[in-house]
Structure 1
Amino acid sequence: MPVPVPRQRVNAVAETAAVGSTDLTLLVIEDDPAGTFTVPELVDASGGRVRIRTARNLTEAERLLTDDVHCVLVDLALPAGRAGDDDRLAPLHHVLRLAPRHAVLALTARGDTELAAAAVRAGAQDHLCREELDGPLLSRAIRYAVERKRADSVQVKLAESRLRAQENARLERGLLPTPLLQGSDLRFAARYRPGRSRALLGGDFYDTVRTPDGTVHAMIGDVCGHGPDEAALGVELRIAWRALTLAGLCGDELLSTLQQVLEHERENEEIFATLCTVDIAPDGRRAGLCLAGHPSPLIARHGRAAQLLPYEDGGPALGLLPRARWPRRQVELGGSWSLMMYTDGLIEGRSAGPGSPRLGQDGMVEMVNRLLAQGLGGEDLLEAAVAQVRELNGGELTDDVAVLLLARERTSRDRDRTAPDRTPSRR
């Protein structure tokens, strides 16, 4: 059905101008072979122009729908909509699929209010009556439709942003778990700081649990990369580690199983993860250490300077070698100690600002010893260590940093064990 040539009227100009005077382009889809829209553009009193482009069918409309089109006016009386009542919105549905980012107006006949309402429910920004169409009304409707579409798009983006934030928070909770240490006399502290280009997510992860036999198991790891995929993989590995540990696996058997999890869940074969696991005996005086391409923990014993635990017998990172092995090394902790596990973000920063050498493990050991000499421990020690690494780097660190600290105070039983025997000798 032909669409009448818009007649320029001066009423309602104020409403049109209120929407804005920016030039817009309208694509009209109607099947009048004579081309009823013969005027190339509409001009309102505010100076805003609406350029008109016409298409006689949906196929031609697809060719004319370029990025400079702001709004589409589709006649619901197109042939595609005449097959029956169930198909009357077919032209509109086609246009909505074709132009999901454009404002869309539906053109209906006078009195067809039910179809007009259905068009708006289907996704059109508004509807126009063919018999009442004129220039100012059309200009106003176009501008309102464009603004309404922009507002809708902003709301969609805000909703997507909220969903991403919620997902990030869920991933962060997976990365930063609550330790299961009930019944243990060990003190726990941790710090996690994502790199500067990420708000919440990173590939670092850690966990600590106590098994029924009294053994405390701790783990820290790093998936190569920094995006949400790597963060999600880190969460999967952490959960798998906790489940396998509570099931009784330890050492090489546990790491071999974790490697299978990584190989099945990673995006490509180039993804790998480093890992450090420690299992501390119930008496707290000794531990088993396994390294999978990860930096060795730092231990500070009572009355002695901090030093790295042995790292010569470590195995490769998970995901690099299909039949790798990770030997478990027994280490003596002593009666009173602090054990610090960390990811490489703590040691790969600069030692004296941009261009200077990396801090490295030796530089980290020196830094931690200075902080220990100041009497720092627990959360204060970790907070100061991360802050000082950032200061030495000369600004934000580019990699994620995770640090985990377990500490044991000297107990009365330990003091009795090391005290000299003052029992009188029998003669």
Structure 2
Amino acid sequence: MTAHLSETLTLLLVEDDDGDAFLVEELLQEAAAPPRIFRARSLQEARTKLTPGIQCVLVDLSLPDATRLEALEEVLAMAPHAAVLVLTGLRDAHVGVAAVSAGAQDYLVKQDIDAPLLTRAIRYAMERKRADQTQLRLVQAELIAKENARTQRGLLPSPLLTSDAIEHLTRYLPGSGGTLAGDFLDAVQTPDGAFHVVVGDVCGHGPDEAALGVALRIAWRTLVLAGQTGGTLLRTLDTLLRAERKAPEIFTTLCTATIAPDLRSARMRVVGHPPPVLVRDGTVEVLEGGPSGPPLGIFPDAEWSVIDVPLGDKWSIMFYTDGLIEAAVGDRDELLGVDGLVGLVREHGAVDLDRLIRHAGTLSDDLAVVVVSRRTA
């Protein structure tokens, strides 16, 4: 009877007994696709031959420099990518069971081995290893998703708005890589009736940047509720950023606005950030006046100027991170840009957030958007 292996494998046989090694090698030659076999006579020799190219390891548990499960533990640590089958003697069958519990995919009793059994055991071990790795990836993905969701709840808080005079809409989307980054947003109404909004972006991607974004967002909310909305707020955020960042080159851009209680004007600071898009009495424009100053974390003595913006009776303001204007559009994957964004808003006649994001293009970076509008009767 001819044995069958589902693919040509690279296999390492860790066996000090020449007779047993010869038997295993001869049996494997009967397979339809005989594997490439490397042999090690000791655990020390196996260390030099356990490369990433080894897909399966057959290991004897009675080696000259390791015994019983010690040998298995060493092999599992050295080759986490490979399927592992344990070879035992007839008297050590119970050790084989313990080996499977310790992480081996299967065990074989040397006296019972024949060609079909050996090739079938290798094939099944490979499939079990693939299944184990798939399950591990699923568990890891689930854990990452839970961590991202937990962090995202910090990035996307419930706005503290006590009046219904303002309509407040937000969207937060990961870029094409799906990795959570440091974009953050928030909105707060203070007892004097003023509305405060922030959208920010910590440079870089990953959990450290996301955590830093959460810290900055919470600090912004705390400072606003404590009555600090001017230069003191930005200087405090700058100090916090420098204390919490993992590397000195990490900086943060943001746009923060305070809308007056009568809803007819706003004071904004554009801190190295893309300018907001304004819709006032049917006219779509980008905020003029240039940036208020550099991003946080660049210059220790930076100052940020105020941009006073008249709003009128009917208006909407869109704050966003650069993931929106860096979306790839068209066949040539050109960036949308600020002008393209303004053009889309004009084309739609208003800030239709979902439609706007859908038509913006392919996101390569995280995207955070806040739209605040004065409700009309």
- The alignment's TM-score, normalised by the length of structure 1, stands at 0.76
Aligned to 2:44: 59
Task: Give the one of 312, 326, 330 matched to 2:304.
Answer: 326
* Aligned-partner Cα distance in 2 for 1:304–1:93: 71
Partner of 1:48: 33
The aligned counterpart of 2:228 is 249
- Residue type matched to 1:341 in 2? F
2:353 is matched with which residue?
Answer: 382
Partner of 1:28: 13
Give, in angstroms, the shift of residue 178 of structure 1.
Answer: 2.7
Say if 1:277 and 1:129 are closer, same or farther in 2 by CA, change over 3 A.
Answer: same
- Asked whether 1:207 is paired with 2:186, we answer yes
Match of 2:294 among 316, 319, 327: 316
The farther-off stretch of 341-350 and 215-224 is: 341-350
Matching residue of 1:414: none
- Separation in 2, partners of 1:370, 1:52: 66
Find the counterpart in structure 2 of residue 368 from structure 1.
345
Is residue 27–residue 55 contact of structure 1 (8 Å, CA) maintained in 2?
yes
Are the counterparts in 2 of residues 41 and 51 from structure 1 also a CA contact under 8 Å? Answer: no
Q: Secondary structure at the match of 1:300?
A: strand
Q: Secondary structure at the match of 1:73?
A: strand
Question: Equivalent of 2:141, from 143, 161, 167?
Answer: 161
| Per-residue Cα deviation, 1:198-257 (whole angstroms, up to 9, x for no partner) | 336344322111233433210012233455554443333223322332333222111112
CA distance 1:77–1:46, shift in 2 (3 Å): closer
Residue 407 of structure 1 pairs with residue 373 of structure 2: yes
Out of 15, 18, 21, the position equivalent to 1:37 is 21
Letter paired with 2:120: R
CA distance in 2, matches of 1:44, 1:238: 65
Q: Which moved more, 1:339-348 or 1:139-148?
A: 339-348
> Post-superposition shift, 1:314?
0.7
Give % identity. Answer: 48
Q: 3-state DSSP class of the match of 1:296?
A: coil
Match of 2:275 in 1: 296
Residues in 1 aligned to 2:373 and 2:185: alpha-carbon distance in whole angstroms: 16
Number of residue pairs the alignment of both structures matches: 376
- 1:156-235 equivalences in 2 (<5 Å): 156-195=136-175, 197-199=176-178, 201-226=180-205, 229-235=208-214
Equivalent position of 2:265 in the other structure: 286
Matching residue of 2:54: 69
What 5-or-longer segments of structure 1 have no aligned partner?
1-9, 83-87, 412-427
Q: Which runs of 5+ in 2 are unaligned?
A: none
> In 2 relative to 1, CA 91–185 (structure 1 residues): closer, same or farther, beyond 3 Å?
same
Distance 1:21 1:347, change over 3 A: closer
2:116 is equivalent to residue 136 of structure 1? yes
Contact 2:15 2:21 (8 Å CA) reproduced: no
Q: Which residue of 2 aligns with 1:145?
A: 125
TM-score by length of 2: 0.84
AA paired with 2:354? E
Shift in CA distance, 121/255, structure 1 to aligned 2, threshold 3 Å? same
Matched, 1:119 2:103: no
